[in-house]
Structure 1
Amino acid sequence: MAKEYGRSARVASEMQKELSFILQRVVKDSRLGFITINEVDLTKDLALAKIYFTVLNADEAGKRNHVKRLNQLAPVIRHELAKRMRLRHISELRFIYDDSFDTGMRVAELLSDIDQTDKAPDQE
């Protein structure tokens, strides 16, 4: 019988907390805005961590720049993560912009537009 909450899920949860702290308090880069770590997806062998994040008030170019900058800073962040987590090996970090929030906002906007057109009186 498989464990429902395995080791990789526990490590991913702890890594998410530590990454949030590191990006907020330790990494001092003025080019990075307010970053939120949404999810950490670890492989079963903990070798690779895909880190999904969002940025407050960023356009498309800003999002691409954040992905590029965070992936450049990945070795520094990984080193800091190694100091804070008690693991023999620290995963390789890959930062990916999570566009699910943007998609959700777009869907909500479309639904409100539909609702507005339904409430408008018929013009005959």
Structure 2
Amino acid sequence: MKNWILCLVSCLLAGCGGGGVAKPTVEENVYAHVVGLGDASGNEEMFQAAFVSGAAPKNRKDYGKYAFIVEGQAEINGDEANVPVKVIGGVISSQDGDRAAKKKSGDKSETQMTWKLQREGKEWKIKEAPLPG
């Protein structure tokens, strides 16, 4: 009985402290939408959902050819954000299969762009995500 009580007290003490999952910041939510767009481009519904209603570009598959990295600090003003994005081309895309693996590694390029995001309800979505060229 004594061991059972010690076990119960230990479990209760280990669970105390108000831990849990930290809520993401506004910046983290904005950045996640930018970085995840390459993956979302593989699925029409996910790609459309990443953008503000009616703002999704028609060249969805082109986004799968790039990697996107937030380069610097986003300017967030209320429900709008301007995000400096490094667009990296020449990345092997899992959507292209073996064809992408045969590409030369010298085809890699990096371009600085500014993307615009907007809060739609409680969720951040992409309003403008220009690609190089």
Q: Same fold (TM over 0.5)?
A: no
Larger Cα Rg: Structure 1 or Structure 2?
Answer: 2
Place the TM-score, normalised by the shorter chain, in its bin: 0.3 to 0.5
Q: Whose RCO is larger (CA < 8 A, sep 6+)?
A: 1
Identify the structure with the greater strand proportion.
2
Identify the structure with the greater helix proportion.
1
Give me the TM-score of the superposition, normalised by structure 1. Answer: 0.36
Give me the TM-score of the superposition, normalised by structure 2. Answer: 0.34
